[in-house]
Structure 1
């Protein structure tokens, strides 16, 4: 996951946490978090990059709506990132 942008990591986290991760739901969730509009020209190319990297899968719900789901590799990457972050958070908490 080291080669992903922060935005791409956020996409993975949002996809993993939504019950129905389609483009507009992902967009809405990120707009709430970032407190600004996320343009389609930013969202969909980044989703495609994650598909190309094998971290998420894209399927069609209907002719206009794509669904996104984490792959097993995507979940492993999130888990590894959490472990890496946790070691630093624990060190910070222990020092306090």
Structure 2
């Protein structure tokens, strides 16, 4: 997880918090959080990177729509990150 960008980590959090979100749903969540437009040219290459790293699995809902889920490894990495963050941030 240490080699991911902040944007890629945010993608993991959104994917973990939704039930098999499709790209547009992920994009909308991040646009709301970042308060600016997320371009497809930024979103999909980063999702592909997470798939290539084995943290996210891409499935096919229909001919035009893919969905994303965390892999077991992705969930473990996210849990480890949250544990690490909790050492430093106690809100």
The normalised TM-score by structure 1 is 0.92
**2:67 aligned with 1:55:** no
**2:42 aligned with 1:42:** yes
Deviation >2 Å, runs of 4+: none
Q: In the TM superposition, what are the counterparts of 1:79-94 in structure 2 within 5 Å?
A: 79-90=79-90
Across the aligned residues of Structure 1 and Structure 2, the Cα RMSD in angstroms comes to 1.0
CA distance in 2, matches of 1:19, 1:79: 18
After TM superposition, give the deviation of residue 89 of structure 1 in Å.
1.4
Q: Deviations over 1:18-72 (max 9, x none)?
A: 1241000000000000000000000000000000000000010001100100000
Ranges in structure 1 where 5+ consecutive residues have no aligned partner: none
The normalised TM-score by structure 2 is 0.97
CA distance in 2, matches of 1:89, 1:64: 41
